[in-house]
Amino acid sequence: MSKPVVLIAEELSPATVDALGPDFDIRNVDGTDRPALLSALAEANAILVRSATQVDAEAIAAAPHLQVIARAGVGLDNVDIKAATNAGVMVVNAPTSNIISAAELTVGHILSLARHIPAAHNALAQGQWKRSKYTGTELFEKTVGIIGLGRIGALITERLKAFGVKVVAYDPYVTSARAQQLGVTLLSLDELLAQSDFITIHMPRTPETIGMIGAEQLKAMKKTAYVVNVARGGLIDEDALHDALVAGEIAGAGLDVFVSEPPTDQKLLGLENIIVTPHLGASTEEAQEKAGVSVAKSVRLALGGDLVPDAVNVAGGIIDPYVRPGISLVEKLGQIFSALTVSPLSSVEVDIRGEITNFDVSVLKLAALKGIFSQVVSESVSYVNAPLLAEARGVEVRLVTDPVSEDFRDVITLRGALADGSQISVSGTLTGPKQIEKLVAINGYDIEVPIAEHHVVMLYTDRPGIVAQYGARFGEANINIAGMQIARTEAGGQALTVLTVDSPVSEELLEQVRTDIDAAIVRAVGITA
């Protein structure tokens, strides 16, 4: 059996290849060579890129076997996420790989601005001794304003506190309790601009944040203040910044990112009171290695059919360790659910009860859909395209949670309405220290069966001799019955039997059993990992 093909389109650290391991056919291509890239994508199951390779709709269409696009870094401007999602391709990045490097570069810009380090170096390198011209300012007891108090903002706060600064922040999504924990005072944006001696911006680039520091905001700052942007190009209006620096409305600026990269506005870059670096936020050996290793691990998970926490086009985000064991259980419940359906689905309800609902369980809805559709469609089903498959088929999907579970600590039920008007439900749970996956109910019949690779589910009228009849049939076919559980609501009524068998059961044998015992349902269930 051939190994999955992993295409590396840009230079990555040796540790990245080591993290992929020996299980893949690793190939290299120059991602900037478009014809070579499109040709190489024809056999690729995964592609790893940095920022130079454009993985657009054309590239994705050229890769019929592609399952995952991995960006060894944070930004995804070079990946068409919508096209990838529509094609069922997972997109992953390394969202935390560069946060320390970015925070340290920000501090470097602040220190360089405060002490005029680049300009003083250049002057001395040219033989000019200008001590008085480059008199700077201490950070001690100054106010540093952080716009965006996320992970990088928190790291900057931690580092700058050693300089004896006062840190204030503007972030509408951060609670006062979190700010207090960091030792930061939350202010409005206007208050931050007016009070800060140094301002650094750490916001995502969105339609709302583009140009958020413009002419009006720059005029609101102190004339002695400095502004730094190591986050995303365009958060500061470059034209407005040029005018403010020329007019002396602020003392200086430090930029690592630009609207156009490489930047084309030489008039801004040529000013004496600006420090610029060529997008070096993630350009450390440590950050590059972390990014490569992180996405390599994500590729392994994706190609192994597992959910990837860093997938940007899959709902769920970081998965709590308490929730994670439920993913496999729910996928298997989905496969059982699908095997028992006899008509197209109209709707699916994922009902989750118990202590697990104290955590984010949205990923379990994805797992249920992946399990259901993996049994009914010919194309590869992933956590990315499973919701699209449901939408395309007009299947309404609902997630219901309840902290109260009467019979088990946690129980998960998949409940569906079928096009023929019938209903179906399967329930499962995890039990014991080893978290054993068990099927605990089918269509209201209570059972407790460890989930195995092969099951047979039967529904028939309860009467003497039935077990002997189907037992004989399975014996004749050399099918070993490893376990059996029978559930019924009353003697002589309908009985539901779940068999655990050691090998697959043919449709011919199922039909023979159905005829022998006059069963309403005889279905084989095959569970794939």
Listed in sequence order, the residues at least 6 apart from 124 whose beta carbon sits closer than 8 Å to its beta carbon are: 130
| Contact present, 308 and 90 (Cβ < 8 Å) | yes
Kindly state the tokens that stand for 307.
């959910």
Q: How far is CA 337 from CA 40, 207, 377, 414, 507, in A?
A: 39, 43, 14, 7, 18
Q: How many CA atoms lie within 13 A of 27 on its CB side?
A: 19
The CA-based diameter of the chain, rounded to the nearest angstrom, is 106
Sheet holding 423-431, edge to edge: 396-402, 345-354, 410-418, 423-431, 436-442, 445-450
- Residue 480 one-letter amino acid: N
Q: Which residue has the tokens 């040796």?
A: 14
Per-residue DSSP letters for 30-83?
-TT-HHHHHHHHTT-SEEEE-SSS-B-HHHHHT-TT--EEEESSS--TTB-HHH
Q: How far is CA 526 from CA 98, 379, 411, 433, in A?
A: 44, 18, 22, 26
> Catalytic residues, which ones?
232, 261, 279
Q: At what angle do helices 99-115 and 285-303 cross, to 10 degrees?
A: 160
- Pair type for strands 90-92 and 185-186: unpaired
Listed in sequence order, the residues at least 6 apart from 439 whose beta carbon sits closer than 8 Å to its beta carbon are: 333, 336, 426, 427, 428, 447, 448, 449, 450, 451, 455, 498
Task: Round to whole Å and give the CA distance between 79 and 207.
Answer: 18
| Contact present, 181 and 169 (Cβ < 8 Å) | no
Which helix (H) or strand (E) segment holds residue 378: the answer is none
For 427-455, b/e burial (b = at least 16 CB within 10 A) is bbbbeeeeeebbbbbbbebebebebbebb
Which helix (H) or strand (E) segment holds residue 468: the answer is helix 466-476
* Residue whose C-alpha is closest to residue 516's, from 476, 475, 469, 467: 469
